Amino acid sequence: MLRRGEVRVNGGRIKPDYRLQAEDEIRIPPVFEQKSGTQDAAPAYLVDMIKGCVIYEDDRLVVINKPAGLSVHAGTGSFFGVIELLRGLFHREDNLHLIHRLDKETSGCLMMAKSMPVLRQVNLALKTGDVQKEYDALLKGRLQQKKTVVDTPLQRHRSRYGEGRVRVEGSGKTALSEFEAVEFFRDATRVKVRIGTGRTHQIRVHADSIGHPIAGDRKYGDREFNREMRTAGLKRMFLHAGKLSVPELKATGEYQFSAPLPGDLEDILKRLAHQRKP
């Protein structure tokens, strides 16, 4: 409700970080909340779908190949997210924790911890850069170099209407992304992206900051380029978390996971390759 501007203070919209003052008059719209224990169960097709997405499970971790279009947790417009569906699937109400996140339109490897000690251990590895993450992306235009490293800091902020965005800002948090060109098309470049940090919208903002936004990105992308990609059949953002490696959590060594590029993105690459031919 805050993000949508429905909470009013002294008759006007207010930012979520506003601190209330004495004598402020607050208006909150009607709130309808289900009583504890009465939440509807997730539809069977969603449970079956998320079950088929699990690519690894042991007593420490659950890893899935998240499909595009599914949020990692319930929220505005999403009654069930990945974490709610998996908690129901594994009958773990409180002992399944998201280790990291993927945007709703991003597909690929997503990890959950089965205990707080494992969550803390992997979070520490994330902070120190010991967790390796590699993404597949399609960028506007042709990268001039084989590898492009972007290390500009990022800062989160909200618009006057409460929309969350991220921008390059000197006072922001450190962020590091490496883009490696692997295939060139007429107006686009397929890249592998390796990130040393995991900031919100990091790859999307870094790609846009160097003049090569991600295909299908409606928030940070290029409208004309996105229109061309839709003509080619692209129906969502071309970003996929393809590989993930985690430091030793067991005696046999590190975890390594991979998720193949989804069929819809493979089809786009085939169409672009066909257009490239004389």
**Annotation marks residue 103 as catalytic:** yes
Angle at 244 between CA 164 and CA 273, to 5 degrees: 80
Name which of 62, 65, 124 is nearest 90 in CA terms. Answer: 62
Euclidean distance between CA atoms 243 and 152, whole angstroms: 24
Token digits for 220? 């940070």
Pairing of strands 107-113, 239-246: parallel
Cα dihedral 249, 87, 103, 66 sign: positive
Specify the 3-state DSSP secondary structure of 115. Answer: coil
One of 40, 48, 58, 103 is an active-site residue; which one? 103
For residue 181, the one-letter residue type is: A
How many residues make up the chain in this entry? Answer: 278
Q: For residue 97, is it left (φ>0), alpha (ψ between -120 and 50) or beta?
A: beta
Concatenating the DSSP letter of every residue in 177-212 gives EEEEEEEE-SSEEEEEEEESS--TTHHHHHHHHTT-
Is 233 within 8 Å of 211 (Cβ atoms)?
no
Angle at 49 between CA 48 and CA 50, to 5 degrees: 95
Tell me the catalytic residues: 103
